[in-house]
Amino acid sequence: ESFIQNFSVLYSPLKRHLIGSDSAQFPSQHLITEVTTDTFWEVVLQKQDVLLLYYAPWCGFCPSLNHVFIQLARLLPTDTFTVARIDVSQNDLPWEFMVDRLPTVLFFPCNRKDRSVKYPEDLPITLPNLLRFILHHSDPASAPQNLANPPTKECLQSEAVFQQGHISHLEREIRKLRAEISTLQRAQVQVEAQLSSARRDEHRLLRQKQTLEKQHSLLQRHSEQLQALYEQKTLELQEVARKLQELADASENLLTENTWLKILVATMERKLEGKDGATALSAPREATSDHPEPPGPPRLPGSSLPPSNSSSTLASERSNENRTD
């Protein structure tokens, strides 16, 4: 029991072994100071106001607070105020500095480290709430007054000047933030205008694309119709050409037959004329039977004319036929 009491008492001579992560892996120049077991005393318990965030990697709400503490570190002067955090899953602390829930925020005022204040659990962790919390608890009026040793007038004046410096610095930072916010708002308006213009262009291009697709489909159907019509007309022309060829062949055959018929008709006419001439000359030839017949081959009745006359007749008929053609 005595050992436990000596071990648990504040500033006990019995020191327990504290497990901590290596402080060399964290950069020194950073807005938020990363605290380990080895650097806890020199960072938190020095002559500066320190706001310490307790977090762990398995805590789902802790990463959402990083941007709030970064903005707070930009607002507050680094020579008089320190924004820090500690991973309690990798670093052990003395019992008096441990917490029972995550995330937890503790404020260690300057020169009053033994009177650290815990941020209210029912209050949302926002930048304005943190600033009000820091200003309230860094005010000397909030510290307990020692009646035996009341603060002197010079101490109060210096504290007031210090607080006034804090307030003026915060006002300047707030003005900068407002200017940045107005710039961001103007940029947001411009970006929204560009986005709306881009959306309108997108809708217009989409309508043009749909119109072009409809026209393409119509042209495709028209092309298919023209292709079908072309094939149909080609077949019809081929059929007409075939019929014309048949007519030309038939006309040539008819012309040939007509030529031969004319030749035959002419030959028959010649034969008939020869028969009539032979009948007319038979009587005188009988009367003058004493006259010998002229030399030459004998002609039978109905025989054709001599070859010379037939050839001349055929040539004249062909010339007449050529002129007719």
pLDDT in tens, 132-167: 888 888 755 444 444 345 556 665 666 677 677 778
- Region 69-90: mean pLDDT is 84
3-state helix, strand, coil in the chain (%, to 5): 60, 5, 30
Residue 73 · residue 130 · CB < 8 Å: no
Question: Among positive and negative, which fits the CA dihedral 260, 261, 262, 268?
Answer: positive
Residue with tokens 């159907």: 221
Q: Which one is predicted more confidently, 236 or 39?
A: 236
Q: Please, what is the Cα angle at 168 between 162 and 173, to 5 degrees?
A: 125
Q: Quickly state the pLDDT bin for 95 (edges 50, 70, 90).
A: confident
CB-based contacts of 70-75 (< 8 A; 24+ apart in sequence) = 70/31, 70/32, 71/127, 72/127, 72/130, 72/131, 73/31, 73/32, 74/31, 74/173, 75/127, 75/131, 75/169, 75/170, 75/173, 75/174, 75/177
Task: Say what the pLDDT of residue 221 is.
Answer: 93
**Token output for 183:** 């710039």
The tokens for 70 are 């970064």
Which residue type is seen at 262?
Answer: K
- pLDDT confidence band for 296 (50 / 70 / 90): very low
Report pTM.
0.41
User: Which pLDDT belongs to residue 203?
Assistant: 93
- Reported as a pLDDT band with limits 50, 70 and 90, residue 274 is confident
Q: Are 37 and 91 in contact (CB under 8 A)?
A: yes
Average pLDDT, the chain: 77
218 within 8 A of 226, measured Cβ to Cβ = no
In the chain the first and final C-alpha atoms are separated, in Å, by 148
Identity at 322, one-letter amino acid code: N
Separation CA 291–CA 288 (nearest Å)? 6
3-state secondary structure of 66: helix
What pLDDT is stored for residue 174 in this prediction?
87
